[in-house]
Structure 1
Amino acid sequence: MKTTSSYLISDLMQRTEANLRLVLELQKFSENDLKHRPSAGAWSALECIEHLNFYGNYYVPEIEKQIDASLYPATEFFKSGLLGNYFAKSMLPTEGSKKMKTLKSSNPLGKQLDKKEVMDKFIEHQQKLLQLLKKAKKVNLSRTKTGISISNLIKLRLGDTFRVVIYHNQRHLLQAQKALDTIDRTSVNI
């Protein structure tokens, strides 16, 4: 994928702002609703967001560190790397997208979760991502590289790392919404 750096950053900012708005809406649900599982073994909305926090805890500081250390000034164009583009595309929530295996360390299933802690952490990550996207306007999105959470040996281009993280957020927020949509509202006592 090749695009202008400004277009990529603008697109990713819009997606992050939409993710932030969505989680602010999800905050209005009760803790019980957010912990509702659509089926046995499926994640609740709160577990989906906690899964995203696991990755945010790694990627937000990593992105910031690499932007701050970058020696490469911004350029007009961003060209995706082969591996980074593959990872980013695989994260995009599309109709009929395949289920992906989650690492045991990032699987929130069955963990004791507090609504306020989980939501506040996710909101904090989204606000920081927006700040980092603004900072990224000053560095080369192709030559600045970041580590990835699953291996110290692989580096991705900064633009691809942003894409992977933000698309991954979109994917699991959609999953969270779907989990909430399965709540049977007809059996609620009034």
Structure 2
Amino acid sequence: MSNLCVPVAGPLAKPRRARIITSAIRLLINSAMSATTRRTTEFLDSLAADLRQVRETVDRRFRPLTDDQLNRGPGPGKWSVGQCLEHLNIVGGLYLPVISKKIKAAQERGSKPAEMVAHGFIGKRMTESMRVPATEKAMKSPQQYAPSGFRLPRTVLEVFSRQLDELNGLIDQTRGVNANAIRIPNPIIPLLLPRLTDALELLVVHMQRHIAQAEAVLDGQGVSRE
């Protein structure tokens, strides 16, 4: 019987299997890297574009509201539009000064921007958890971040607008430093030190989450989206 169709076995087959496995692993690694690797400029441009969309929503839907619409919640224990904005103002008031200080210190050290953005494991997980809409999965905010009252003045809109300007300015400043190397302490858990890249993305995604929550409140009241 001819042995031409008999599979190669023994020592010669092992190196071939090893090469196939190694190639498969490299392919998986390269695919994962291509899915997650991003240029720093592209990443920051995306955050700035997200902020422009937030501002457009605030100007179009929230500024025309009456005081009653601003402060009317969808039900007991549910936040109104004003409370959503107040919550964002509190978080911004804690994070933004720290970020500004850290960027300034990096500038003084002569920090230079990295070509590619890097994320930390914990920071990325925190950000991803915020991508789930508040209308689908509510999260209990720490007491330090809770809105201060039920009847909020219209100045809550002006404070939020100023913080949008400040955050946008910090994103611009970040373009000149190595954001991967800067650590931002969590206001409640100082030992938690996400990268500046993660802190900025977390703030923007958190903002989008609660702006969408506020829009859902208005939708429930029958307020037009026009």
TM-score (norm 2): 0.77
- Would you say 1:149 and 2:187 are equivalent positions? yes
Change (3 A) 1:47 1:170: same
Q: Which moved more, 1:102-111 or 1:125-134?
A: 102-111
Distance in 2 between residues matched to 1:97 and 1:150, nearest whole Å: 25
Instruction: Say if 1:93 and 1:167, in contact at 8 Å, map to a contact too.
Output: no
Deviations 1:134-189 (A, max 9, x none): 1100111110111112211111100100001010000000000111111157xxxx
2:206 maps to which residue?
168
Q: CA deviation at 1:87?
A: 0.8
Partner residue of 2:161? 123
Residues in 1 aligned to 2:38 and 2:221: alpha-carbon distance in whole angstroms:
41
CA RMSD of aligned residues (A): 1.7
> Which residue among 91, 97, 117 is the counterpart of 1:78?
117
Rounded Cα–Cα distance in structure 2 between residues aligned with 1:43 and 1:31? 15
Question: Counterpart of 1:89?
Answer: 128
1:62 aligned partner, one-letter code? V
Check if 1:27 corresponds to 2:63. yes
Distance 2:87 2:133 in 1: 19
2:37 is aligned to 2
Q: Any idea what SS the aligned residue of 1:151 has?
A: coil
For 2:180, the aligned partner's letter is S
| Distance in 2 between residues matched to 1:11 and 1:97, nearest whole Å | 25
* 2:119 partner amino acid: S
Question: Aligned AA for 2:121?
Answer: L
Moved >6 Å (runs of 4+): none
* Alignment match of 1:62 (pick from 92, 95, 98): 98
Residue deviations 1:57-104 (CA, integer Å, cap 9, x gap): 011111111111113310101110001101111112449752111112
1:17 aligned onto 2:52: yes
- Which residue type is aligned with residue 53 of structure 2? A
* Distance in 1, Cα, partners of 2:186 & 2:150: 24
Q: Which structure carries more relative contact order (alpha carbon 8 Å, separation 6+)?
A: 1
Identity of aligned residues (%): 27
- How far, CA to CA, are the matches of 2:200 and 2:132 in structure 1? 15
Aligned equivalent of 2:218, options 166, 180, 186: 180
Task: Provide the rounded CA distance (Å) in 2 between the counterparts of 1:103 and 1:75.
Answer: 34
TM-score of the aligned structures, taking structure 1 as reference length: 0.91
- Larger strand fraction of residues: 1
Contact map agreement 2:113 2:178 (CA 8 A) in 1 = yes
Letter matched to residue 32 of structure 1: D
Q: Which runs of 5+ in 2 are unaligned?
A: 1-35
Aligned to 1:155, the other structure's residue is in SS state coil
Q: Which runs of 5+ in 1 are unaligned?
A: 186-190
The equivalent of 2:7 in structure 1 is none
In the alignment, the residues of structure 2 paired with residue 95 and residue 53 of structure 1 have an alpha-carbon distance, to the nearest angstrom, of: 17
2:55, 2:164 within 8 Å by CA — same for their partners in 1? yes
Number of residue pairs aligned between Structure 1 and Structure 2 = 184
